Amino acid sequence: MTKTGLLKIEALENVVQANKGLTAVIKKEISDHLSGKRFLILVLLVVVACLASLYIAATTIRSAGQGSDFVFLKLFTVAGSTLPFSFTAFVSFLGPLLGLMMGFDAINGERDRGTLSHVLSQPIFRDALINGKFIAGVIVLAMVIFGLGFLTGGLGLLVFGVPPTLEEVLRILVYLALSVVYISFWLALSLLFSILFRQTTTSALAGIALWLFFTLFAVFFVGMIANAIYPVTDSSSAQQVLNNARLELWLGRISPNALYDEATVTLLNPSVRALGFVMLDQLYGAIDAPLSFGQSVLLIWPHLVSLIAATLLCFAAAYYAFMRQEIRA
């Protein structure tokens, strides 16, 4: 703890002042998000989706999954026949929208309303504004995601009466943290678009286009590229087939959605022992038992790091673009 009163050096005073500006921006952005109508709408949508998936999971688990291990985790992953979505699928699908919506007009909206030059003429560093907006967004996201996770878990506890084991709790916590990172990626991306594009509609559309591409079309394109490089026919060698599949997997992992989905499955389904291809000789002697929590985390470590890196990369690009941009409207 450093007391501001003790700081005599001018540079440090500057830092303190800049941080004051940063906290002011964070405070204001958080209250903006929480009181905004569109945020309310989207959170309601996500809450309803999660409750629906909880209901489906509850009915499905009762009829089918009795007595199996990790019942509590199934709450989050099991999909029913009437509603083919689980909690995780909903977060994976709607989460990016939440992130995009929170950031798409962050900077160009301020520019439109003429508040950008007003805020930046106050004694704060220019990056305090964009840092503050990002940090506030991540904080709000964390509140929403953890809130939702605990809500679902708590309701599940009421419905089943089966308490989660420590391992299950840990897995869920890591999963929720992973979701926050994943949605933060979309937040950083939309922040970048809000700086690059002057129109809020353009930046919103650009974000949605990218989201649609990654969720719907990426798989299709990846398959096409893989087939073009390693064409597979009935007479192809095993090596060719393997190469094709491997390329498809690795190209697919460019998409943050794919990374997130793989990591989610590994975290919430302890019986997933490996990602990608396992040869028969590798399987030889393997024991068919669920992985421990530590091993699962080890398995998705690269995914987690890549997601964090992608998020930071997006934010760094946004930061750079913003610091160099003309402020005049």
Structure tokens at 191: 């922040």
CB closer to another protein out of 216 and 329: 329
Q: Minimal distance in Å, beta carbon 204 to another protein?
A: 18
Closer to another protein by CB, 20 or 273: give it. 20
Q: Min. distance of Cβ 134 from another protein in angstroms?
A: 17
- Residue with Cβ nearer another protein (130 or 259): 130
Helix pair angle (166-196, 256-268), 10° resolution: 170
Residue 13: which residues within 8 A CB-CB, separation 6 or more?
A: 7
Q: Which C-beta is closer to another protein: that of 136 or that of 145?
A: 136
Q: Which own/partner pairs from 19-22 qualify as long-range (CB within 8 Å, at least 24 positions apart)?
A: 20/124, 21/122, 21/123, 21/124, 21/125, 21/128, 21/132, 22/124, 22/128, 22/131, 22/132, 22/135
Q: How far is the CB of 190 from another protein (least distance, A)?
A: 20
DSSP 211-236: HHIIIIIHHHHHHHHHHHHS---TT-
Residue whose pair of structure tokens reads 């890196």 in the numeric block = 309
Q: Which amino acid is at 117?
A: S
Shortest separation between residue 129's beta carbon and another protein, angstroms: 10
Least distance from C-beta 172 to another protein, angstroms? Answer: 36
- Measured between alpha carbons, how far is residue 214 from residues 125, 141, 274 in Å? 35, 21, 24
- Closest contact distance (angstroms) between CB of 14 and another protein is 6
Measured from the CB atom, the residue of 131 and 184 that comes closer to another protein is 131
| Nearest to another protein of 130, 267 (CB atom) | 130
**Residue found by looking up tokens 């893989």 in the block:** 226
Q: Nearer Cβ to another protein, position 35 or 81? A: 35
Q: Shortest Cβ distance from residue 115 to another protein (Å)? A: 4
Contacts 24+ apart (CB under 8 A), 235-244: 242/277
Q: 200-212 and 166-196 helices cross at what angle (nearest 10)?
A: 140
Q: How far is the CB of 320 from another protein (least distance, A)?
A: 15
Q: Which residues contact 294 (CB under 8 A, 6 or more apart)?
A: none
Q: For residue 133, give both structure tokens.
A: 């907006």
Our CB check for another protein shows the closer of 14 and 292 to be 14
82 closest CA partner among 58, 107, 108: 58
List residues binding another protein (CB under 8 A): 10, 14, 17-18, 20-21, 23-25, 27-28, 32, 35-36, 110, 113-126, 326-328
